[in-house]
Amino acid sequence: MRHARNNELTDRRSAASDAKAYLLTAYRAAKTAAERSQAARQAERIALVEARDARHAERERVKNEERTRRETLAVQEQAAIEAAAAAEIAARQSAENARISRVVEDEAARKAERDRRYAARKARQA
């Protein structure tokens, strides 16, 4: 006899009140059930954020190590270039010194040959 045609105002009010109470009870039950799953979802989100932060920190560490490695290699390459340049300059200087000494020796040999010819000519004249 729930849906009788003869509903009075008080019957309708009590039915509305019962429906509201039922909805409130259902809402509270759903809210307590959702709180458990919400806590689980929140914990999962926190775990995801921590994992993402850990991955980000690892990427930054790897980038810093790579940057440090590149800088070290650049410094080593620069030192090697400077050492090669210094060695090349020393080799050029050594070659220049050798050339100068050969020129001086050749000049001395030419002068000695000239002096010998001069002495031979004087010896023939005398």
Residue 4 lies in a domain: no
Show the tokens assigned to 32.
């307590």
Determine the structural domain holding residue 68 and report its residue range: 10-93
Question: What pLDDT shows up at residue 4?
Answer: 56
Write the pLDDT tens digit of every residue in 19-74.
Answer: 999 999 999 988 888 888 888 889 999 999 999 999 999 999 999 999 999 999 99
d(CA 72, CA 85): 20
Question: What pLDDT shows up at residue 36?
Answer: 81
Question: What pLDDT shows up at residue 76?
Answer: 97
Residue 124 lies in a domain: no
Number of separate domains in the chain: 1
Query: DSSP assignment of 52-116, as one string?
Result: HHHHHHHHHHHHHHHHHHHHHHHHHHHHHHHHHHHHHHHHHHHHHHHHHHHHHHHHHHHHHHHHH
pTM, entire model: 0.47
Residue 78 lies in a domain: yes
